[in-house]
Amino acid sequence: MMTGNQYRESLRQLRPEVYYLGQKIDSIVDHPAFAPHVNAAALTYDMALAPEFEELLAATSHLTGDRINRFTHIHHSHDDLVKKIKMLRAIGQQTGSCFQRCVGHDGLNAVYSVTYDIDHKMGTDYHTRLVNLLKEVQSRDLMVSGAMTDPKGDRRLPPSQQKDPDLYVHVVERKSDGIIVSGAKAHITGAVNSHGHLVMPTSAMREGDADYAICFYVPVDAPGVIHVFGRQTNDMRKCDCTIDQGNVEYGIVGGEALIVFDKVFVPWEHVFMCGEYEFAYDLVERFATAHRQNYGGCKTGLTDALIGACYALAQVQGTDRASHIRDKLVEMVHLAETLYCCSIACSCQGIALPAGSYMADPLLANITKLNVTRHIYEIARLAQDIAGGILATMPAEMDWKNPKIGSYVDKYMKAVADVPTETRIRLIRLIEAMTCGTALAESMHGAGSPQAQRIMIERRANLGHKKRLAEKLAKIGEQPLFVS
C-alpha cells in the first residue's frame, strides 16, 4: 500500500491533459486549485497505514491474500459493507470534504459482479479481464475514478437517437486489438487526480443502443483523454488566500471534471462490456446502490466536523448556553445519526450476488440517498442559523491583514473578549465552505438526483405485496362473516 506522499509522487509521473480556466495545467499536485483534492485523496492512503484506522481502511484481498487498501477491495460479507460505511465516516471526520475514492471503489464492485453475470450467460471472458485489472489496482494501490454520467443531450431521446452521437460515450470502431471510443463523461469526482478511469454506461439500454453499452478502463493520461476541471464556489480563494478558504487543506468537494474521449483506443483486455445492452441496467443499478449506500457514512463524517464547528463558534460568540442554540445542535445530531442508521441498515441487509460479492440492500440504499438530499440541507440551514448573518458579511482575510484597516476588522469582529478574532474568522469560513454553494449541490445530485432515487424506490417498493396485506386485513375477496 502507498503512503500519501507516494501517491502524490505517482501522480507526478503521469501526464494527463488537464485544463482549468482556459489554461493547460502541467502539474495538478503543485497547483493551488487542485492541491486540496490531492490532499484529501492522499489521506485515504495514510489512514490505511495508521494503527488507529487500519482495521477500517485496510483489508485482505480475496484474490491474492495480500493486505490492501479497502478502496481497492471487493465486498464479500455484511461486515465488509458495514466497515465501508464506518471507514467513510472516519475519513469524512478528518477531511471535512469529499475524499473521492468511493466512486471508483463502487464501480469496481459493480463491474466485478456484472461481468461475472455476462460471462455466465454469454460465454465471454469479461470477468477474467476485470480480475486481472483488479489485481493490478490492488498491487499498485491505484486510485480509479468511476465515470458513469454522460452529458445526455436531449433527455427525451435515447443514446442512439441523439443528433450528436458523442453525447453518450460509444464505440466508434471495433478492431482486432481493441476498440475506439468517443464521447464524454460529466461531473466525474476525483478525475484529474486519479490514475485511471473506469467508464460505465449511464442508463438502461435498448438493442438500438448497443454501441453505447460499453464498459472499459483507460489510464488518466491515455492519448485522446482530455479533462476540463469544473468551477467551484469561491474557487479563486485557493489562489489568493488561506483562511478565507475555510478548509485550506482539503477543500470543499471532490474536484469534479468533464472527461472527453476523443477517439480513444482501448485494448480488449481493458474492455468489460461491449454491446451487451441487456446488462447495462444491472450495472447502473448495482453501481448506484453501492454509491448511494455511502452517503450516510461520508456525509455524517462531514457533519460531525460541521457540528463541531458550530458548537465551537457558539462558544466563541457567547451563545453556547442559549437553549435554542443547543436545540439546533441536538437536531443536527439527530438528522446526522438518522442518515448513518440508513447506511448501516442497508449494509446489514446486503445481499450476496452470483459472483460471490455482496451488494447493499437497493431499496434502503436509495432511501439513504434520498434522505441526504433533505437532511443535509436542513443541517446546513441550522448551521447558518447558529453562525448568524456574519457568515455572509465577514470582511476578507486581506482586509484583516491590511496594515491600515486590519486593526479595525480585528477589533469589531471579536466576540468573546479572551478569544482571538482569528479563531472566530476561521470557524465562520469553515462553516461557510461546508454549507454554501457547491458542497450542497453535491448532496443533491451526487450519486443521482432525487428523482433517480424515487424511480429506484418505486421499482423496489413491492406495492403489490403491500396491497395484498391490506386486502387481507380488510377481508376483501373473502366470504363475509355475517350473511343476512
Q: What is the pLDDT of residues 388-422, one digit of tens each?
A: 999 999 999 999 999 999 999 999 999 999 999 99
Burial class (CB in 10 A: 0-12, 13-18, 19+), 68: buried
Contact criterion met (CB below 8 Å) for 400 and 425? yes
292 within a domain of the structure (yes/no): yes
Report the mean per-residue pLDDT for the chain: 97
Task: State whether the Cα torsion 67-68-70-72 is positive or negative.
Answer: negative
Note the pLDDT of residue 483: 58
226 within some domain: no
Q: Percent of the chain at pLDDT above 90?
A: 95
Confirm whether 71 is domain-assigned.
no
Task: Give the whole-number percent of the chain exceeding pLDDT 70.
Answer: 99
Residues 6+ apart with CB under 8 A from 123: none
Q: Do the domain assignments include residue 395?
A: yes
pLDDT at 437: 81
Q: How many domains does the chain have?
A: 1
Residue 180 near residue 229 (C-beta atoms within 8 A): no
Question: 431 in a domain, yes or no?
Answer: yes
pLDDT digits (tens, 9 = 90+) for 206-247: 999 999 999 999 999 999 999 999 999 899 999 889 999 999
pLDDT of residue 92: 98
CB 106 within 8 A of CB 448: no
Yes or no: say if 82 and 236 are a contact pair by the CB < 8 Å rule: no
For residue 229, being part of any structural domain is answered with no
Q: Where in the sequence is the domain holding 373, given as residue range(s)? A: 283-463
Q: What is the pLDDT of residues 417-451, one digit of tens each?
A: 999 999 999 999 999 999 998 888 999 999 999 99
pLDDT value at residue 478: 75
| Cβ within 8 Å of residue 249, ≥6 positions away | 36, 39
How far lies 44's CA from each of 147, 237, 294, 408, 463, in Å? 20, 25, 15, 42, 41
- 182 bridge partner residues: 170
What DSSP letter does each residue of 382-436 carry, written as one string? Answer: HHHHHH-THHHHPPPHHHHH-TTTHHHHHHHS--STTS-HHHHHHHHHHHHHHHS
Would 441 be classed as within a structural domain?
yes
* pLDDT (0 to 100) of residue 481: 59
Active site residues: 98, 102, 189, 256, 291, 295, 298, 442
Burial of 177 (0-12, 13-18, 19+ CB in 10 A): exposed
- Give the pLDDT mean for 316-322: 98
Task: Indicate if the pLDDT at residue 482 is higher than 90.
Answer: no
Q: What is the pLDDT of residue 166?
A: 98
Q: What pLDDT, on the 0 to 100 scale, is given for residue 414?
A: 97
Task: With respect to residue 313, please indicate whether it lies within any of the assigned structural domains.
Answer: yes
CATH code: domain of residue 389: 1.20.140.10
Give pLDDT, residue 239: 87
∠ CA(50), CA(54), CA(60), 5° rounding? 135
pLDDT at 479: 65
The DSSP 8-state label assigned to residue 231 in this structure reads P
Q: Quick check: 140 pLDDT over 80?
A: yes
